[in-house]
Amino acid sequence: MDVSGLTIEGLHRALEAREVTVEEICKAIFERIERLNTTLNVYITVTYEQAIERARELDAQLSTGYKPTGLYGVPVAIKDNICTKGIRTTCASRILENFVPPYSATAVEKLHAAGAVILGKTNCDEFAMGSSNENSAFGPVRNPWDLSRVPGGSSGGSAAAVAADLCVVALGSDTGGSVREPASFCGVVGLKPTYGRVSRYGLVAYGSSLDQIGPIAKTTADVARTLQVIAGWDEHDATSANLPIDDYLAALNSDVQSLRLGVPKEAFGVGLAPEVKRAVETAIANFETMGASLVEVTLPHLEYAIADYYIIATAEASANLARFDGVRYGYRAEGVETLAEMYQKTRDLGFGAEVKRRIMLGTYVLSSGYYDAYYLKAQKVRTLLEQDFRNAFTACDLIVTPTAPTPAFKLGEKISDPLEMYLADIYTVTINLAGLPAVSFPCGFSSDGLPIGCQLIAPHFQEARLLAACHQYEQNYPTAHPSARTSAGSLRWPSL
């Protein structure tokens, strides 16, 4: 079966018509994984036997006349910092290279209950720390649009897997843009839900007040279907919100004629690549053609977002990663004589350079004499950033910005300059600091043929409004997805 461009709706139609089985779909995708993963390095772990066994169980149910709904029979990929019972979860780090969790994350349990088939665990920046997927202990993921470029980070494996048809839907995690930036770079749709909308139970913590699990798919409808399954309160996560869940799929066709779209002037200044600016401004003009009204809003503290984020996120990382010490689980250094030496050597050999950098930064800003000057002040600035959005949303329904300041950059281009790498997150980190939902969707291409993403931001728990606007845009201005074919039927990217 040709799985190119396969969506959940198309998969369910084919299953219901008995044109194909879940097992045949999974085997077709596994064939692509076997052929392309060596090049793209998308998967760290592939679960072929478990997936085929699961597919056969689902096919047996379909043979009784069962009608597929939800995520029934949908092949999914899981970012490798989300726990999966019986399947190793490495966080793309040597320190957890052989760790097999005894339980699954709540989001994974919900996928399974909805009938999804897990294909494997996707590559990412180590402990989700990075913007390019070059920090993985298992090597970088390559962008399917151009193998010399990054897929974005930290959920680069998940976004590239969706883009290259190595799964239908993927889960990523977003601490400062780690779902949205890869979605932008790989030409797919990625949603960061409101903080608390999706349980974090089973997500290996990086920044606990910032982390959120989010779906990545080729279409907004598939993102909506996945969110419908994974959203909701969880007794295992005290930060999850016990609030009603909207019908995201039904809301996709909501009218956007009266939509007030906020355009912050601060998001279109210095540092934004001209091609990205043109593509996003075209998307804004298209929204206006669809009936939306444009409102100029201001986010006056946006310029402090990167500094603020990298104080708060590293502080939380320093605390969260203290548990990886070689005592209870994970890698333990050998050839040591004292406990202190074991701690030091285990962490030195087990963690990569970027993780060490963030632990040291976080430990510094939390240390005696610097806590008030850095961490406490950063929390105050965070409050100001959140207030900026609250003020802006009094005048508009959604806010639009670029997702990233540039299209996908070259592998190795920024890896030696951490500050330049961090600036790639300028438009995304603020959303995590404020706990808001945001989505990245394809809005155009660079002169090199690379995808460009546009970001929509909504008030807390307004994912339905966000996805409706994204879906309506997608229907009115369809942008070629990575599955697009030439007239000869060949792949959009000849290198694959």
pLDDT tens digits, 335-361: 999 999 999 999 999 999 999 999 999
Q: Is 254 a catalytic residue?
A: no
**Can you tell me whether residue 260 is helix, strand or coil?**
strand
Q: What are the pLDDT digits (tens) for 381-418?
A: 999 999 999 999 999 999 999 999 999 999 999 999 99
Residue 350, judged by CB atoms within 10 A of its CB (0-12, 13-18, 19+), counts as buried
Q: What are the pLDDT digits (tens) for 203-257?
A: 999 999 999 999 999 999 999 999 999 999 999 999 999 999 999 999 999 888 8
CA 232 distance to own-chain centroid: 18
Q: Has residue 26 got a pLDDT over 70?
A: yes
Q: Has residue 16 got a pLDDT over 80?
A: yes
Q: Has residue 85 got a pLDDT over 60?
A: yes
Q: What's the distance, Cα to Cα, between the start and end of the chain in Å?
A: 18
What pLDDT is recorded for position 494? 46
Residue of 132, 154, 158, 483 with catalytic role:
154
Q: Has residue 488 got a pLDDT over 70?
A: no
**Mean pLDDT for the stretch of residues 162-184:** 98
To which residue do tokens 């993927």 refer? 170
Write down the mean pLDDT value for the chain.
95
Q: Has residue 283 got a pLDDT over 50?
A: yes
Q: Is 178 a catalytic residue?
A: yes
Tokens read off for 58: 């689902």
Give the number of other CB atoms < 10 A from CB of residue 349. 14
Q: Has residue 380 got a pLDDT over 50?
A: yes
Q: What are the pLDDT digits (tens) for 418-427?
A: 989 999 999 9
Q: Has residue 493 got a pLDDT over 60?
A: no
Tokens read off for 87: 């399947």
What pLDDT is recorded for position 496? 61
**Mean pLDDT for the stretch of residues 461-479:** 95
Q: What are the pLDDT digits (tens) for 109-147?
A: 999 999 999 999 999 999 999 999 999 999 999 999 999
Q: Is 199 a catalytic residue?
A: no
Q: What are the pLDDT digits (tens) for 295-337?
A: 999 999 999 999 999 999 999 999 999 999 999 889 999 999 9
Residue of 79, 192, 218, 414 with catalytic role:
79
Higher pLDDT, 495 or 67: 67
What pLDDT is recorded for position 1? 76
Residue 233, judged by CB atoms within 10 A of its CB (0-12, 13-18, 19+), counts as middle
Domains and CATH numbers, the chain: 8-302+383-476 (3.90.1300.10)
Q: Has residue 483 got a pLDDT over 50?
A: no
Q: Which amino acid is at 359?
A: I
Residue of 104, 155, 178, 483 with catalytic role:
178
Helix ranges (DSSP H) in 45-129: 48-62, 106-113
Q: Has residue 162 got a pLDDT over 90?
A: yes
Q: Has residue 150 got a pLDDT over 90?
A: yes
